[in-house]
Structure formats: structure tokens, C-alpha cells
Amino acid sequence: MHSGWYDRKVRRVRDLSCADTRIYLDIEVRRVQCRSCGKVKRERLDFLADNPLYTKRFAWFIGRRCRQSTVKDVARELNLDWHTVKELDKQYMRIQLERAGTPGPKVVGIDEISIRKGHTYRIVVSDLVRGRPIWCGGQDRSEASMDQLYDWLGKKKAHGIRLAVMDMWKPFSHSTRKQAPQAAILFDKFHVLRHLGAALDAVRKSEYARLAGQDRRYIKGQKYTLLSNRENLTLDGRQALKRLLAANKRLNTAYLLKESFGQLWSYKSEAWARKFFENWKTGLQWQRLKPDVPPILSSGHV
């Protein structure tokens, strides 16, 4: 590059501290006019961070400190603005990700986090074998956003996934079956039991609507008692539950079905677990709880 005139400007940048003394460097940064394109270009100094007011080693120090403390605490400790610490920490994490390269997970856990009020979500994916998060992205929790994970992994690594653990959100399962068809999908226990709880509550509401007068007194105000774990109930709560189940046969049936389903996770053998599930589903069909329960329970698709 043929250069014309240039000037120098002194810039003060912060470096690593020495004990409790802050260290600043005064450096000369030259600006050169390119004769070929006529643009003014500034000298690039490789030891500066993305934020040119700090050195890379200071940014590295900030990143390591943020692994042990919150951004707010690090900012207070070093007398820096919160946003400055956050940006330096992001630079540190980007370098770590570049060093690690694109992972090739065999077992992934998929979930979403809310980043602000108003149902604004991002998808978080973890490598469950190595026990660390590997991806956070998307614009929401749609199938298109989920597809971005598999696009980032690439076809070869996406096809190396053997198991995907997720909640029962359909866009997650649809994307996984499309992009990683060889992966088995496992719905986590918490969300399965939540659907069973919703089904039991649907039976409670239908029974309350079906009955009238004094027949309602055992059901009214007993939602928490019915849906809580028996171990979490007080003595009065357990007695109220006993009276409720004795007074209403349909609620008793639905409650026993919900409670018995927890046995599924006690099996070590897949064959025995499948046998239990099929027997449970058959028993459910004979109870004739339709159409008062949600499809997730009556169809057995849990």
C-alpha cells in the first residue's frame, strides 16, 4: 500500500493492574492516508482488545474473573461500567468457543430460557455427556429457530446425535425428527407429569360441573390438595384428600392412574418399562374417562 501523509494520536489504554495499582499505557496510534484508495486508515495494534481502550490480556483477565463472580461484582471490583465488563467477557467467551471448535454431541438436552418479559425466548442446548452448554440462539422457540442448531452443527455431526432430551414442545421434536432422524427423543419426566396433572385437574373440573348442591362440597377448593404430592400435604390435607377420593369414584380413578405412572421411572430394563407403559395405557382405556381428560392422557401419548 502506497501511503501519503500520516499523523499520530496518543491513546491511553488500561492494562493489568500491579497489586492494587491500576496500570495505564500511553501509546501512539498512527493514521495513514492510502494513496491508492484515498481513505484514511488507522494502525492496527494486535495487543488491543476489541474495545481499543483495553489490552487483550486485561480482557482475558476480565473473562476469567467472570467465571467466578457476577458481571456486577467484577465491574465494582475494577471500577468499570457494567456494559464494558459484559463486552470484554463476551470477547473472552468468543475466543474460548473458537478454540473448542464445533462440538459433536451424542446426547443433547434442549430447553428454552426467557430473556425478558413478554414471552421472548431463546433456545439452549447442552451436551449431556460432557455436562456443558454448547449452543444458545434462535429468535424464539419455533421450529425455524431449532433448525438453526442443526445447521450450525452441520449434517454429519447432527446425524451423530443418538438421543435428544426435551420437553413436549412440538417444534423441538419436529425439527429433531427432520434434521436428526436417527436420534431417539426422550421427553423429560417433569413435563410428562405436568401433563398428567393437567389431565387430573380436567377431571376435577368436569366432576364439579357435573355435580350440584351438597355433592360439590368435597371438590370445591381442593385443587391444591388433589394435585400436590402426598408427602407435601399436612395431616389435614391428607384427610381432605382421603375424603375427596372416597366421595368421587372418577376422581379416585384418575388420581390412582396419575400416581401409578410414576413407577415407570423405577425400571432399569427398557423391556419392562415398555411392558408397564402398555399395561398402564390399556388400563386407562378401560376406565372410560373420555372425553373429560386431555388427549395427552387419554391417548397414552406420554
- The helix/strand/coil state of 58 is helix
Outline where the chain has alpha helix (H).
Answer: 56-66, 71-78, 82-100, 143-153, 155-158, 170-179, 189-210, 223-227, 235-247, 249-261, 270-287, 295-298
Q: For each of the chain's 302 residues, which pLDDT tens digit applies?
A: 445 556 677 888 899 888 888 899 888 888 777 777 777 777 778 888 888 888 988 998 999 999 889 999 999 999 899 999 999 998 888 888 777 777 889 999 999 888 877 678 899 999 999 888 889 888 898 999 999 999 999 999 999 999 999 988 899 999 999 999 999 998 888 888 888 888 888 888 888 888 888 778 888 888 888 888 888 888 888 888 888 888 888 888 888 888 888 888 888 888 998 899 888 888 877 666 654 444 444 444 44
Model's pTM, two decimal places? 0.58
**What pLDDT was estimated at residue 73?**
93
Could you give phi then psi for residue 251, rounded to 5 degrees?
-65, -40
**What pLDDT was estimated at residue 158?**
93
Q: Do 7 and 31 meet the contact criterion of CB atoms below 8 Å apart?
A: yes
Buried b (16+ CB within 10 A) or exposed e, 215-242: eeebbeebeebbeeeeeeeeeebeebbe
Cross-strand pairs, 26: 12
Distance CA 120, CA 111 (A): 14
**What pLDDT was estimated at residue 252?**
87
Neighbouring CB atoms inside 10 A of 18's CB total 8
**What pLDDT was estimated at residue 298?**
44
CA-to-CA separations, 120 to 127, 137, 138, 271, in angstroms, rounded: 24, 12, 11, 41
Check residue 29 and report its DSSP letter: E
**What pLDDT was estimated at residue 175?**
95
